[in-house]
Structure 1
Amino acid sequence: MMGKTSTLNVNEINIIQKKNLYLLLTVVVIVGLIMLASYITEYNHIEGVLSIPAAASWMASNIWFSSSTLANLGSVMRLLWETILISIVSTTTAAVFAVVFALMGSKLTYINKPLMLAAKIIASISRNIPVVAWALILVISFGTNSMTGFLALFFGSFGFLVRAFVETIDEGSKDSVEALKATGATYWHTIFKAVLPGSMPQMFSWILFMIETNIRSATLVGLLTGTGIGYLFDLYYKQLNYEMVSLITLAIVLAVLVIEAISNIIRREIL
């Protein structure tokens, strides 16, 4: 008995030593990559850290806005509301298409292998092209307007939501799907009675998360497409009007915090 206990202790010690060795190697690799990146880009970490106080001092003296700047709050809120609406519409529209592609791409609900492969390839392409790149590509075709911003956010959301929905279906609906199949249920009966009801709360949570993300991304997209709050930010930034820039930034931050708080409340109710 003592011999078995000693063997177990030795094995546990060996496992811990291996984990510590892997952790040490991981840290060494990460530090090496940081040093290599610094050397290639000629970035000095020490100078970067030492410049923080000067940057903080400049921000403290330049980002405050006066009462005269608050007179423009109405236009800021109007364009911010437009940005939020575009984010919500693009995300919810992408979610509808994502559900269809997720059903085709899931191992539990796919119709045939070619369609499953096609759905995954389309979603992968959409997901791996950054939203900024989508905006630049679409500006060439549609110009600088709200449609360009909508489509850029749509394609960025679509690819991410397809993957999230596929994983949700595969993880959460397996038992119920197998039970219905055993009773001889049809494909569509399985989808509407087991897959969607079981997966919908988690899918809805992913949609809320994507809306939050798109509100942040929409500001950057607006810089490129000349729409929404991003356009206003870019306009005043180029004019070096830092008071308006700080007001716009504060409005964006508060909007994101409010949307995030609302999303968290909804998630707690549905999950």
Structure 2
Amino acid sequence: MQASYFLKKRLSTALFIIILLAITAGAVILTGFDFMAGFASIPKAAEWGITQFYPTAESLDKLPDILDKLLETIMLSIASTTIAGGAAVILAVLGSKTMQVHVIFSVICRGIASVFRNIDVSAWSLILLFSFGQHVLTGFFALFFVSFGFLTRAFTETIDEVSSHAVEALKAAGAGYFTIVFRSVIPSAIPRKLSWVLFMMETNIRSATLVGILTGTGIGFSFDLYYKSFNYHAASLVVICIVATILAIEFVSNTIRRMIL
């Protein structure tokens, strides 16, 4: 019996690997990708990066403008994440299995979160570009919509995980709906919710660079402008500032998460 189980498991694993390899081979054939040419281009790409893509004394003159755009991107990411987190708390409470008003309403809330989450931030940027043009609001709403969908899903699962026993106890004691929400559901889930908000904030700062390239705002626009004008030294300085900022924010975020969890 046990041998038969392991045999079936090995066969299913082998079948999965074969299917994955077949899909990969099909993709390579359809796209005309050449592995050998790709590997052969690595030395030339590395040589170009070493000889062209580095900051110079002249590019450092642009550092104040780069830092200004970087600060704008960070503030945009923080604002979109925190506002999305506040809105997500409401939808998560109404959509959770623990505190749902009605099963249909819960399904609707989860469906709304799924739609916002599964449309990529680049797609949102292009969709909103037609409405707001190249404006900071385009980037804000693109990050807000994705953050809202993701955080609603994360908050919903968090509420269902950490609040079920306390909610049952309060219901048995005769507590009302809003009393349970504000005295039990939200307080008990706050540490994990803050952790998810910090994670989303990190993600949005990374995504904001791509959003800026698409919408013509923030640090992404600066990189796109310098790169397309062949000012690779200034573009490399932008990349260094972005990487340093992401690493610093990740360090701070991880430190805060260790303190609250």
- Same fold, judged at TM 0.5 (above): yes
- Partner residue of 1:162? 152
| Structure 1 residue 42: Cα displacement | 1.0
Question: What TM-score do the two structures reach when normalised by structure 2?
Answer: 0.96
Kindly provide the CA deviation profile for residues 154-203 of structure 1, in whole angstroms up to 9, marking residues without a partner as x.
Answer: 01110111111111111121111111111111111111122111111111
State the alpha-carbon separation in 1 of the partners of residues 198 and 249 from structure 2: 9
- Partner residue of 1:233? 223
Is residue 20 of structure 2 the alignment partner of residue 30 of structure 1?
yes
Q: Map 1:103-252 onto structure 2 (within 5 A).
A: 103-252=93-242
State the alpha-carbon separation in 2 of the partners of residues 44 and 68 from structure 1: 39
Name the amino acid aligned to 1:188. Answer: F
| Structure 1 residue 104: Cα displacement | 1.0
Name the amino acid aligned to 1:163. Answer: R
Mean alpha-carbon deviation: is it higher for 245-254 or for 110-119? 110-119
Cα RMSD after superposing both structures: 1.3
Kindly provide the CA deviation profile for residues 193-219 of structure 1, in whole angstroms up to 9, marking residues without a partner as x.
Answer: 221111111111110000000001101
Mean alpha-carbon deviation: is it higher for 92-101 or for 173-182? 173-182
- Partner residue of 1:13? 3
State the alpha-carbon separation in 2 of the partners of residues 15 and 267 from structure 1: 41
| Structure 1 residue 21: Cα displacement | 2.3
State the alpha-carbon separation in 2 of the partners of residues 171 and 213 from structure 1: 24
- Partner residue of 1:62? 52
State the alpha-carbon separation in 2 of the partners of residues 237 and 157 from structure 1: 29
| Structure 1 residue 241: Cα displacement | 0.8
Name the amino acid aligned to 1:112. Answer: H
State the alpha-carbon separation in 2 of the partners of residues 63 and 256 from structure 1: 20
Question: What TM-score do the two structures reach when normalised by structure 1?
Answer: 0.93
Mean alpha-carbon deviation: is it higher for 190-199 or for 260-269? 190-199
Q: Which runs of 4+ in 1 moved over 6 A?
A: none
| Structure 1 residue 22: Cα displacement | 2.2
State the alpha-carbon separation in 2 of the partners of residues 176 and 76 from structure 1: 50
Name the amino acid aligned to 1:241. Answer: N
Kindly provide the CA deviation profile for residues 128-172 of structure 1, in whole angstroms up to 9, marking residues without a partner as x.
Answer: 211111111112111211111111110111011111111111112
Q: Which has the larger radius of gyration?
A: 1
